[in-house]
Amino acid sequence: FSCYMIRIVTLPGWMYITNQHVCFYASLPGKKKGPHKTGYLTKKNHVNSPRSFRYYFELSGHVLSWYESAESKYLPLNSIDLVGVIRVDMYKPKKFGIRLQTDTGRYFLFADSQVSQKEWFDELRKGIFLAQNSGSSIRVALPLANVIAIEKPSVFQFAENIKISISDGDDEGEDIKEVQHNSVITLSWY
């Protein structure tokens, strides 16, 4: 079936159903060159800290860097390799917040507006997805034995959808990306 995988990004591809797996395959779009996004954000070192600092941020390829100002772009204060990002989400307790979780710590960023927050959040999710899926294609195999539930939500009125919840399972090989344990994946087709 021709379908879309709706997860971090909406990805067009193909769904295959075998006796043991629900599989998804897609070619990844070419990576664009240059920065994906630049601009000023406020950063807190700890969410409960009263101190915050305003920096110039640049998202380029798989790296998010920050600088004292736009004029000091050759001297980054620090950077985050998006390959190591475990989670990114909108941080609801604080206005216009974005939280990045890496294997080494958490980062709290705050935009100036809701529009800016959404733009940064979307670009970060795309950057993380491309950084963590660096090949020219992605293959996802969901073992039927690990399926917890299959639902048919009405996500879009113009398309059929299935939502598959799975628990962690056996590794399917190096070239197949497994969906993380206790995850949900949504597939949509017309």
**DSSP labels, 104-145:** S-EEEEE-SSHHHHHHHHHHHHHHHHHHH--SSEEEEEEEGG
- In the DSSP assignment, the letter for residue 146 is G
- In the DSSP assignment, the letter for residue 177 is B
**Domain 2-28+137-189 and domain 35-132 have a common topology:** yes
Q: What is the pLDDT of residue 54?
A: 96
pLDDT score of 169 more than 70? no
Q: From CA 113, how far away is CA 116, in angstroms rounded?
A: 5
pLDDT-derived band at 178, boundaries 50, 70, 90: very low
pLDDT score of 155 more than 90? no
Q: What value does the mean pLDDT take over residues 3-32?
A: 78
The closest alpha carbon to 108, from 128, 88, 122, 126, belongs to 88
Fold assignment, 35-132: PH-domain like (2.30.29)
Q: What is the pLDDT of residue 108?
A: 94
pLDDT-derived band at 181, boundaries 50, 70, 90: very low
Q: From CA 107, how far away is CA 80, in angstroms rounded?
A: 9
- By three-state DSSP, how is residue 72 classified? helix
pLDDT-derived band at 41, boundaries 50, 70, 90: very high
pTM of this structure: 0.68
Condensed to tens digits (0 to 9), the pLDDT of residues 53-88 reads 999 999 998 899 999 999 998 899 999 999 999 889
Q: What is the pLDDT of residue 58?
A: 95
What rounded mean pLDDT belongs to the chain?
Answer: 80
Percent of the chain with pLDDT over 90: 32
For the chain, what are the domain ranges?
2-28+137-189, 35-132
CATH-assigned architecture of domain 2-28+137-189: Roll (2.30)
Contact 1, 14 (CB under 8 A): yes
Q: What is the pLDDT of residue 129?
A: 81
